[in-house]
Amino acid sequence: MLQEVHVGHKSLADYQSVVVKPLMEEIKELADSLRGKRVLHINATSFGGGVAEILYTLVPLMRDVGLDTDWRVIMAPQEFYETTKVMHNALQGNPVSLNPVQRETFEEQSRIASESLGGGFDFIVVHDPQPLLLRHFSGDLGANWIWRCHIDTSSPNQSLARYMLPFIELYDTAVFSMEQYVFSGLNIPTRVFMPAIDPLSTKNMALSPEDADYVVSQFGVDAGPPVMLQVSRFDPWKDPLGVIDAYRIVKKEFASVKLALVGSMATDDPEGWSFFTSTVEHAGDDGDVLILSNLNNVGNLEVNAFQSRADVIVQKSIREGFGLTVSEALWKIKPTVGGNVGGIPSQIKDGETGYLVDSVEQCAERCMWILDHPEESRAMGRAGKEHVRAHFLMPRLLRDYLRLFSEIGQAS
Ligand code: UDP
């Protein structure tokens, strides 16, 4: 079944002081021509992970500019999410693809969900593979269907790609975050635009150092010792174990350094629990490694506080569709060290807005340099913030969707 997600109100006018005027004007112009259009976003979870993060802001902003926009999540038994996690991993290159039983689960649950879709939409935006088959089971419903893939699909498992391709080709348009993610052989129009963060959300609004210190002190991190931080789901592709290894190298030089790993449990990520346990085991009994999640009441404000308090932020991913956490870190003027993969290099310009790394050793080395050079690192953080302002704030993403709607709406 498909369940409605309720979002709060947001006003585009509040963003005018954080982005440039021509962008705001373009949004207004595009929105005028789309006023009253019905838009539906569908994804797999309202909690945890980047897509939910984006929709909590994008949906209310679309409403604010005059589009009648809703957001629904696909609700299904646990086997469905286990299956779609296999798909997610295979799309990122894992050799294991769906077995026949999993395909059947995926198709049957998609069919059931499609029964509650209803009609009357102008644009239906389906995010990621979980709800992909809704288009197949629903017919076109007189809507423009957009498949928005957020995953790094630069080298997908070929058997899964072959299975998915005919279903993707039922869509009018597919949107990817980077050119190299576009499935080879995909025979429908495609677009490339990147995700964005909400600079005004509780997660990204400016927090004073005092407030940040106070919030993180509740979790046992005092003001003073240097803090390394990675914020991400407990997922092997995010390489928290590699972050712990890098921290251990840093610890030899900076004895007082602490590591915070903050990772939420997304409801559509059944692997999260077992990998959380492996991460805790890998950390052992080191009291300077803090492993926290939403289960410790680490919500958006707490993530903000950890990011604002950290001395160096790491996103040591092995695969990363985009990595909102990188923009979140740069927005807080933090020198950031990221894996040289997927969407991270578009945010981190090596040596300018942070450092890109390919190994644990390199990660440790860059973190140590940052801890040793606070002034230079802060200058890099400032450059990072302006880079995010120019490219990765929500009004730009809203503009990209409005452009897309207006172009495909006119064509249809
Ligand atoms: N996040 C969070 N709490 C956590 C871990 C992650 O709020 O404990 C958020 C993080 O701040 C970011 C999003 O979840 O906004 C993760 O998005 P990203 O694109 O980095 O990765 P994804 O999880 O989508 O692969």
Q: pLDDT (tens digit, 9 = 90+) per residue, 334-377?
A: 999 999 999 999 999 999 999 999 999 999 999 999 999 999 99
User: Is the distance from the beta carbon of residue 53 to the nearest atom of ligand 1 less than 6 Å?
Assistant: yes
Residue nearest to atom 11 of ligand 1 (CA): 325
- Cα-flanking dihedrals φ and ψ of residue 108, to 5°? -65, -45
User: Is the distance from the beta carbon of residue 292 to the nearest atom of ligand 1 less than 6 Å?
Assistant: no
Q: What is the pLDDT of residue 267?
A: 67
Pocket test for ligand 1, best of 319, 325, 334, 392 (most atoms within 8 A of CB): 325
Using the mean position of ligand 1's atoms as its centre, give its distance from the Cα of residue 328 in Å. 10
pTM value > 0.85: yes
Beta-bridge mates of residue 43: 73
316 touches 285 (CB < 8 A): no
Q: What is the pLDDT of residue 31?
A: 98
Residues, the chain:
412
Domain residue ranges in the chain = 2-196+393-411, 209-391
**In ligand 1, which atom is closest to the CA atom of 195?**
19
Q: Tokens 């997660």 correspond to what residue?
A: 203
User: Is the distance from the beta carbon of residue 322 to the nearest atom of ligand 1 less than 6 Å?
Assistant: yes
pLDDT digit string, tens, across residues 151-187: 999 999 999 999 999 999 999 999 999 999 999 999 9
Which letter does DSSP use for residue 393 in this model?
B
State how far the Cα of 341 lies from the Cα of 244, in Å rounded to an integer: 19
**In ligand 1, which atom is closest to the CA atom of 292?**
8
User: Is the distance from the beta carbon of residue 263 to the nearest atom of ligand 1 less than 6 Å?
Assistant: yes
User: Is the distance from the beta carbon of residue 251 to the nearest atom of ligand 1 less than 6 Å?
Assistant: no
Using the mean position of ligand 1's atoms as its centre, give its distance from the Cα of residue 33 in Å. 33
**In ligand 1, which atom is closest to the CA atom of 51?**
24
User: Is the distance from the beta carbon of residue 328 to the nearest atom of ligand 1 less than 6 Å?
Assistant: yes
User: Is the distance from the beta carbon of residue 264 to the nearest atom of ligand 1 less than 6 Å?
Assistant: yes
Which letter does DSSP use for residue 291 in this model?
E
- Whether 411 shows a pLDDT value over 90: the answer reads no
Angle between helices 300-309 and 209-217 (to 10 degrees): 110
State how far the Cα of 59 lies from the Cα of 68, in Å rounded to an integer: 9
Lowest mean pLDDT among 128-132, 138-142, 267-271, 382-386: 267-271
Residue nearest to atom 9 of ligand 1 (CA): 49
Fold of 209-391: Rossmann fold (3.40.50)
Using the mean position of ligand 1's atoms as its centre, give its distance from the Cα of residue 192 in Å. 21
Q: Under CATH, domain 2-196+393-411 is a member of which superfamily? A: Glycogen Phosphorylase B; (3.40.50.2000)
pLDDT digit string, tens, across residues 179-220: 999 999 999 999 999 999 999 999 999 999 999 999 999 999
Q: Computed over its alpha carbons, how large is the radius of gyration of the chain?
A: 21
User: Is the distance from the beta carbon of residue 10 to the nearest atom of ligand 1 less than 6 Å?
Assistant: no
Tell which residue, 79, 82, 77, 59, has the closest CA to residue 69.
59
